[in-house]
């Protein structure tokens, strides 16, 4: 079974654990089983550290506060191009906002994020 297969199976089992928890104690038990120090998700995350770099999922963030909220379309474009220039060669690279996009973020910055990504991949 591959790491991807393990993750898919764990996702299904985790959903079942969480949705079947009908009280706070069962939900806490599910959290510990999945995310505790010896949790199943925790174990898989540790295992990823042992993979060869070219096989690890790579997530690259564009800072939510510095770029989405506080940046400009030009600074966002530069940040996306720089990040993609460094990381796009990884087969498992995923461009990310880093977390949630702050609600007060400029739509122009959000559009610039997607436009810079599309432009980069259209030209590489």
Q: Whole-prediction pTM value?
A: 0.58
Average pLDDT, the chain: 86
Q: List, in order, residues 6 or more apart from 35 with CB less than 8 Å away.
A: 41, 42
Task: Give the three-state DSSP class for 124.
Answer: coil
pLDDT tens for each residue of 73-101: 999 999 999 999 998 887 788 888 877 88
Residues 31-65: tens digit of each pLDDT: 888 888 888 888 887 887 788 777 777 677 899 99
Residues 42 and 44: their CA atoms lie apart, in Å, by 5
What's the DSSP call for residue 23? S
Instruction: Summarize pLDDT for 11-25 with one digit per residue, the tens.
Output: 888 888 888 989 889
What was the pLDDT predicted at 9? Answer: 87
- pLDDT score at 118: 92
Distance of alpha carbon 31 from alpha carbon 4, whole angstroms: 21
């Amino acid at each position: 079974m591959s790491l991807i297969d393990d993750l898919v199976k764990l996702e299904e089992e985790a959903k079942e654990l969480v949705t079947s928890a009908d009280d706070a104690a069962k939900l806490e038990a599910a959290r510990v089983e999945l995310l505790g120090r010896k949790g199943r998700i925790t174990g898989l995350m540790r295992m990823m550290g042992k993979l060869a770099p070219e096989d690890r999922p790579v997530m690259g963030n564009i800072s939510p506060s510095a770029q989405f909220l506080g940046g400009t379309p030009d600074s966002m474009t530069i940040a996306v191009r720089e990040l993609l220039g460094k990381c796009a060669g990884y087969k498992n690279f995923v461009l990310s906002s880093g977390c949630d996009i702050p609600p007060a973020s400029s739509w122009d910055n959000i559009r610039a994020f997607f436009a810079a990504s599309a432009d980069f991949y259209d030209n590489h």
